[in-house]
Structure 1
Amino acid sequence: MCRSNDRSTSDLAAIRLPLPGIVSILHRISGVALFFSLPLLIYLLHGSLSSADAFETYRAVVSHPLMKIVLIGLLWAYLHHFCAGIRFLLLDIHKGLDLQTARATAKTVLAVSLALTVILGVSLW
């Protein structure tokens, strides 16, 4: 018979994921978000290119504040996925594997992706 250990459940609640782990999880989440947003992005591209009337509909849809927030979220997903992907490529060739460098590059990925999102998002709003 297997007994549950009360200490193990309290230890699980106390576990804090390190920053490189958070960047890794966000990389996966952003990839999934980008994949599932492809139909929306293709629809918007089609609407912007097919005809003058469709372009006006496209402009009306894209100018809605909620759609702008969604598109800025997708912009962040793309930028984070891109920056984290470069980080993981460097890790694959065994660059930046030590703990201090891994933490620094994880912070850099978050800072650069958020800064670029703000810069591009403000210019596109």
Structure 2
Amino acid sequence: MTEATKSAKAVRPEFRNINLLSDVRTYRLPAAGIVSILHRVSGAVLFVLLPFIVWLFDKSVSSEISFGEFTSAFSAGLGGVPGWFIKLVTLAIIWAYLHHFCAGVRHLYMDFTHKVSKEFGKSSATATLVISLLLTAALGAKLFGVFGAH
């Protein structure tokens, strides 16, 4: 190892045992790590909100009357829960589904093609974040009535 390589390696910090109080502020998680953590978080959100998802689906397809209750829940609310809060929870479900789906496709693609380089991991993680957030923003805009059906 040359002297230049030794000095370049010595400058780079090593994090072996991360101290929550002092190291978390300076530690930069790579994009692939962020996507991995958000993949787990989105799966947990989908699991926890599964009863609400089933209720939404049931109300939307059971009958015309239940579909009316379904649509009025988003505008007038339901019980003591305001409509905007139901929209926010639905937006969280939309984000969780889209992120979980995009990250899952990324993982499957990496598994099938054996692309496990650092460069591909970074670029595919960035693409996963951008695609899932753009899709969530588009569907969220539709949910909150930014553009309506004509």
Deviations, residues 40-81 of structure 1 (Å, cap 9, x unaligned)? 011122222334443332222123111112111211111111
- Higher mean alpha-carbon deviation, 80-89 vs 9-18, is at 9-18
Within 5 Å, which residues of 2 pair with 1:7-86? 9=19, 12-13=23-24, 14-63=26-75, 64-86=83-105
Q: Quick one: distance in 1 between partners of 2:50 and 2:84?
A: 20
Residue segments in structure 1 that go unaligned for 5+ positions in a row: 1-6
Q: TM-score, normalised by structure 1?
A: 0.82
Q: Quick one: distance in 1 between partners of 2:140 and 2:52?
A: 18
Give the residue type in structure 1 aligned to 2:85.
L
Q: TM-score, normalised by structure 2?
A: 0.69
- Please give the secondary structure, in 2, of the residue aligned with 1:97: coil
Q: Quick one: distance in 1 between partners of 2:92 and 2:52?
A: 13
**Higher RCO structure (Cα 8 Å, ≥6 apart):** 1
RMSD: 2.2
Within 5 Å, which residues of 2 pair with 1:94-113? 94-113=113-132
Query: Measured at CA, do residues 113 and 8 of structure 1 come closer, stay the same or move farther in structure 2, by a change above 3 Å?
Result: closer
Q: How many residues align?
A: 119
Residue segments in structure 2 that go unaligned for 5+ positions in a row: 1-16, 76-82, 145-150
Give the residue type in structure 1 aligned to 2:122.
R
Query: Measured at CA, do residues 11 and 66 of structure 1 come closer, stay the same or move farther in structure 2, by a change above 3 Å?
Result: closer
Q: Percent identity?
A: 39
Q: Whose Rg is larger?
A: 2
